[in-house]
A and B are shown apart, each in its own frame.
Chain A
Amino acid sequence: MVTITGVIPRPNTYTGLWSWLTTVDHKRIGALYGFSAFFFFIVGGIEAGIMRVQLATSDASLVSADWFNAMFTMHGTTMIFMVIMPFGATFFNFLVPLMIGARDVAFPRLNAFSYWTFLFGALLMHGGFLIGQVPDAGWFSYANLTAAPFSEGKGLDFWALSLQVLGVASLAAGFNFVVTIINMRAPGMSLMRMPVFVWMTLVTSILLVLAFPIITVALIELTADRQFGANFFNTAAGGDPILWQHLFWLFGHPEVYILILPAMGVVSEIIPTYSRKPLFGYPVVVFSGIVIAIMSWAVWSHHMFTVGLGPIANSVFTITTMLIAVPTGVKIFNWIGTMWQGSIDLRTPMLMAIGFVALFIVGGLSGVSHAVSPSDFQQQDTYYIVAHIHYVLFGGAIFGIFAGIYYWYPKITGKMYHETLGKVHFWLMFIGMNLTFFPMHYAGLNGMPRRIYTYAEGFGWEGMNLLATIGYFVIVISLLIFMHNFFRSLKKGEEAGHDPWDAPTLEWSISSPPPVYNFAEVPVVKGQDAYWITKREAAARGETVPAEPHVDPSTIHLPSPSYWPLVTAFGVVWIAGGLLIDVGWDYIRFPVSFIGGLITIIGVIGWSNEPPAEEHHEPAGHH
């Protein structure tokens, strides 16, 4: 086994394509996550556009009903699993080690493995487009729409197996960040001194590692039903499709908080910086985040009020769902309290953060309105729900993500973005977002069902739908401005300096972009808002705090790049891809899948036999 590692020399380049394929640097992996997520954001956005154009007028025929099904399924799946989650991972990767004063994550190669598995899984799911077999049962793929007789072709198999692969990626990332945050904090950084973003990352990661096993089981059962003739959701054998809904939402509701908590963390970093005040009620923000995570396990059946769980279950879940609004509302008061009497600087990140708070309140309120089960009977499966989910996921998560992108752009690239273009982006996106999704409340309460591919004239839905479609194009324009701003500023933006915002967290204490080793000297943390403390102590002494000097990188012990995460990820996705093969002889799937298993095993063995870092220097002696 040891010989396997001997055959291929270890990659040792730090530039060019291979350096990106073999990198284990958390900052590069973060960037890879970011670009992949934005790519899929465009893909999911195009799918949304097709739906909006189709629905702009009554009796439209841009796409068939079947393709419309495929569009809303892939739009939901893409935006949730391939856009918002990896955008979260972008920030986790780039920022968490910097914020806790670490040189990398706890398991750098596992981190690379997470990224490649995510990318391959996402590509595998979109591979269905190439052969015209697209998943089309909705992003939650309710049984028994997914049973073989009702969903012919391979579309649902693509969905189930790719999601399984994406789950592996998320689990690996979740394990990694739990260990990193618990175990790699700089001296002095106790849990209650961690930046709120790190706290929310920890909570999100814990939710990930606890929730994803459930969807893993649900997908195993679905795959077993479809591929191996099992009976889990087969009513003829006594199976119960409701079990799928329970398993899916047992995962799905913690998943909702997996999507929103990172954005809450981002906003909790931005608002104090631009209000020139520490976060109001830091412990309350932290504990309300923890309480949300715990309570997110007790509310899943509010997605299922209309399936007939009976009055007891519906009442219980109504109460728990209304209760979870409390810690969420507490956070909103904390953000507003932070801004209260602060000297507010309305730069683009701050605008985005305030947009997040405002739109999330709207989404939260409509959420409470269908937390009440009798009211939900009216709203179930209408556009009202579509409006709600987009207010919390677009108005919430996406605004939070863009706030983060603008806020950390100077840190990540070393350049300043164009402020005016940023503000134009914000206002257009804010207006477009409301134009798109606010009319959906009315269309929904007016009876327009979700997932219909067209509608007849005379229901009074045309106006609302036309407005929504116009809003969609306003959002598209705002995103074009964002992209222009992003790439233009990379070339022409002015040098940002290491700390353009006078920010409170440790990542701003090092140069921009950060050197590969992050911290030349591991910082010692004296309290919350560690870098503010450092700066104020220095100011009291009449000094300025310089960015850390560059040191000779060869004196710092860093993990070396590796091929094995890529190989292992490739093997994992091959296992899933093999099961999708459909060429006459049914059993060809298994030998092909088995080859993927062998690749995975070779990858793991190579990985295990390779030390994390090549022996070249003694670790830099510090302290």
Chain B
Amino acid sequence: MAHVDTTHAPAEHEPAAHPPAHEEETTTGISHRKLLMWVFLGSDCLFFGSLIATYMVYRGQSIVGPYPADIIDVPITTISTFVLLMSSFAMVMAVAAARNGNQKRLIQWLICTIILGGGFIGFQVYEFNLFRVEGLRYETNLFSSTFFTLTGFHGAHVTLGLFWLLCLTIIAWRNPAGRPSGEDVDIAGLYWHFVDIVWIVIFTLLYLIGGFDAGPDAGHAATQGWQWITGIFA
């Protein structure tokens, strides 16, 4: 799956011990790894775009319950959204610390990010388990299949990010030759923030807007709206 590639990003890097002038001479002035990360994020937009599109196409099409309104708890998820947002803040502070060469602050902020990100995953595990207990299994209906796939793959991205940050923390702890460099942390940060913005979209569409869909006909308001618009031109 697409995300395997991200983890390679830290790999292709000359050790920071090299004098920067020899490190990379690139045509655009952007380092290879940073460019790779942005191309990957552009590509990942399509990945989540397709998953979200699947959810939206199937919104309100389940023919058996439980429906979102029966089961989704918006207040709890608002808290976990807040937690993930704050982890982004911690991450950006870690990047700033790494750029200033402040190894101690870097470790503190990285651990802070990991705790907040882990908290988000904890919320998700709790939520998934609650849904399972209440009768929403992966195979129950269209809503469950699309919901678990979308949020599950987002959770997998977060977990991968946690693993990555953990590696960076350990490296920073052992501190061999000034690693991780500012850019090492920066690129992990880009990935981490991307996971955060994907959640911003998911939270809005699946919880704030779609979380109150009740019964099989929910979500058709949008369809009817579109039909009304096309009706003008018909």
Contacts and interface: CB of A to CB of B under 8 A. Distances in A.
A–B contact with Cβ pairs below 8 Å: the answer is: yes
Contacts of A167: 1-2
A270 interface: no
A538 interface: no
A612 B8 CA distance: 12
Nearest to A576: B1
B35 A183 contact: yes
Contacts of B5: 110, 168, 171-172, 175
**Which 8 pairs show the lowest CB-CB distances between chains A and B?**
A229-B139, A213-B47, A217-B50, A230-B145, A213-B46, A209-B43, A183-B26, A107-B12
A211 B50 CA distance: 10
A41 B170 CA distance: 47
B32 interface: yes
A575 B12 CA distance: 24
A290 interface: no
A611 interface: yes
B11 interface: yes
B73 interface: no
A231 B54 CA distance: 12
Nearest to A186: B27
A361 interface: no
Interface in A191-215: 209-214
Contact of A171 (B43, B174, B216): B43
Interface stretch (B61-69, B75-83, B84-92, B196-204): B61-69
Contact of B1 (A216, A238, A612): A216
Interface in A542-559: none
A230 B43 contact: no
Contact of A612 (B12, B44, B49, B146): B12
Interface residues of A, number: 60
Residue among B43, B142, B216 with max Cβ neighbours from chain A (10 Å): B43
A2 interface: yes
B2 A171 contact: yes
Sorting the interface of chain B by its residue count into under 10, 10 to 19, 20 to 34 or 35 or more gives: 35 or more
A110 B63 contact: no
A110 B170 contact: no
B145 A604 contact: no
A607 interface: yes
Interface string B32-58: 100110011011101101110010011
Interface stretch (A64-72, A218-226, A404-412): A218-226
Contacts of B2: 167-168, 171, 212-213, 216
B124 to A, nearest CB: 18
A619 interface: yes
A175 B62 contact: no
Contacts of A216: 1-2, 47, 50
A209 B57 contact: no
Given A164-B1, A230-B149, A237-B64, A217 B51 contact: yes
Contact of B42 (A168, A176, A210, A214): A210
Interface string A46-88: 0000000000000000000000000000000000000000000
Nearest to B163: A601
Contacts, number: 163
A256 interface: no
A65 B29 CA distance: 58
B15 interface: yes
Given A182-B28, A232-B146, A1 B7 contact: no
B19 to A, nearest CB: 10
A29 to B, nearest CB: 15
B4 interface: yes
B176 A2 contact: yes
A109 interface: yes
B14 interface: yes
B12 A231 contact: no
Nearest to A243: B57
B27 A185 contact: yes
Most B-side CB within 10 Å, residue of A110, A218, A230, A232: A230
A521 B174 CA distance: 40
Q: Which of B26, B27, B36 has the most CB of A within 10 A?
A: B27
A517 to B, nearest CB: 16
Nearest to A610: B11
B10 interface: yes
A182 B10 contact: no
